[in-house]
Amino acid sequence: MHQRGKTTARRRGRRAVKWAAWTVAVLLVLPVTVAGAALRAQYAGEAAPGAMTRGRDALWLGHAWVDGRRDASDVAALRRRLAGSGIRDLYVHAGPLEHDGTLPPARRAYPRARWLITALHRALPSVRVHAWLGDRLVYEPGQRGGLRLSDASARRAIVASARQVLAAGFAGVHLDLEPLHSGNADYLRLLDRLGPVVRGRGAVLSVAVHQIDPLPGLHTVSGALTGHRKWISQRFFGQVARRVDQIALMSYDTGLPAESLYGGYVAQQTRLALAATGRHTDLLMGLPFFHTESVGHHASAETVRAAVRGIRLGLTREDRDRRRFGMALYVDFAATEEDWAAYGSGWGRPDRS
């Protein structure tokens, strides 16, 4: 009788363990399944015929264009590549910034910048050439190897660096500081100082920023669990957008494993970004013109085709008549012919009428 009781207790224990395992599995798998279904639903349907390029697209160009590795033949090839496209702005890597916010003298940082700007103005008169500046941000006390925006002297140095590149002939300053924590007041202070300086020279201020919380507050959860704040809040995105002329959302490095999931995610990001961006600011959605493989980026899923379709769907659903809207292509030196073909066929040519 006593042994039978032990056997019954063991059975009950095993049953409890099984139920606990099933409960954990459901709690883990169900949200993923629901999220996957929601993203695939975002990727379904058809984009409006008018959800095509507005002639306000941009392309990130590597440092080789200003350090002497590119020549006149490369400019001619770029002219042929961009002919008839919607690309109006070129973000040319002129940094990186030093960790104190300064730039080396032009002869060391970007010795061929004036040549490039002159050559591009001749080859592509309607294209604007911006200086792309960036660095890694650090936050923790004593943390090294990056730029600390809480340091007022570093913010002043970045403003001085902006003056430096504008004096070299660039038509704008494109700032890419990562990782950018949501709600970073020092970043907003920097933009408040940069805006009048850049616009006072008749130039354009643009920024590249992280993706928006797919669910409210997700950046806080991500930061608490992993220490990595992958997203920013929609409210903070809007605060940044109000302070700049262009804002480019880096809609890649999502870690998603399939085109339908990635395309649906980009459609959602496009809607969130449109809702947060006022009509005075150009909103640009990033395209993955690169093919590295990592935990955060699967080239077979994050395709240009999926991104373009997702962006067009998001535009159609949220604000199909928005004019100050485009795509930003990252990056020239990693792009393939297939990338360019998918961008051209999916997004079309600008209306010149």
The pTM is what?
Answer: 0.89
Which of 165, 67, 149 has the alpha carbon at shortest distance from 115?
A: 67
In sequence order, which ranges of the chain are alpha helices (DSSP H)?
2-42, 72-82, 106-109, 113-123, 152-167, 185-200, 218-226, 234-241, 259-276, 304-319, 337-347
Query: How far is the C-alpha of 154 from the C-alpha of 101, rounded, in Å?
Result: 5
For residue 327, the model assigns a pLDDT of 98
**Which residue in the block uniquely carries the two structure tokens 């409960």?**
23
CA angle 253, 53, 268 (to 5 degrees): 40
Give long-range contacts, CB 8 A cutoff, 24+ apart: 292-297: 292/334, 294/253, 295/255, 296/253, 296/254, 296/255, 297/252, 297/253, 297/254, 297/255
CA 296 from chain centre, in angstroms, equals: 14
Is 287 contained in some domain?
yes
Is 104 contained in some domain?
yes
Query: For the chain, how are helix, strand and coil distributed in percent, rounded to 5?
Result: 45, 15, 35
Is 32 contained in some domain?
no
Query: How far is the C-alpha of 44 from the C-alpha of 259, rounded, in Å?
Result: 12
Query: How far is the C-alpha of 71 from the C-alpha of 276, rounded, in Å?
Result: 41
**Which residue in the block uniquely carries the two structure tokens 């960036």?**
134
pLDDT (tens place) for every residue of the chain, 353 residues total: 444 454 555 555 555 544 443 334 333 333 555 577 889 999 999 999 999 999 999 999 999 999 999 999 999 999 999 999 999 999 999 999 999 999 999 999 999 999 999 999 999 999 999 999 999 999 988 899 999 999 999 999 999 999 999 999 999 999 999 999 999 999 999 999 999 999 999 999 999 999 999 987 666 665 545 555 679 999 999 999 999 999 999 999 999 999 999 999 999 999 999 999 999 999 999 999 999 999 999 999 999 999 999 999 999 999 999 999 999 999 999 999 999 999 999 999 886 54
Is 134 contained in some domain?
yes
For residue 226, the model assigns a pLDDT of 54
**Which residue in the block uniquely carries the two structure tokens 């009788």?**
1
Q: What is the CATH number of the domain that holds 98?
A: 3.20.20.80
Is 194 contained in some domain?
yes
For residue 55, the model assigns a pLDDT of 98
Is 160 contained in some domain?
yes
Q: What is the DSSP letter of 147?
A: B
Is 17 contained in some domain?
no
Number of domains making up the chain: 1
Strand partners, 247: 207, 283
Query: How far is the C-alpha of 70 from the C-alpha of 149, rounded, in Å?
Result: 33
CA 241 from chain centre, in angstroms, equals: 13
Query: How far is the C-alpha of 326 from the C-alpha of 55, rounded, in Å?
Result: 7
**Which residue in the block uniquely carries the two structure tokens 């640009």?**
284
Query: How far is the C-alpha of 151 from the C-alpha of 137, rounded, in Å?
Result: 11
Which of 107, 197, 206 has the alpha carbon at shortest distance from 161?
A: 197
**Which residue in the block uniquely carries the two structure tokens 């570093």?**
154
Query: How many residues comprise the chain?
Result: 353
For residue 37, the model assigns a pLDDT of 83
Which residue segment(s) compose the domain that 188 sits in? Answer: 45-347
For residue 169, the model assigns a pLDDT of 98
Q: What is the SS3 assignment for 278?
A: coil
Is 269 contained in some domain?
yes
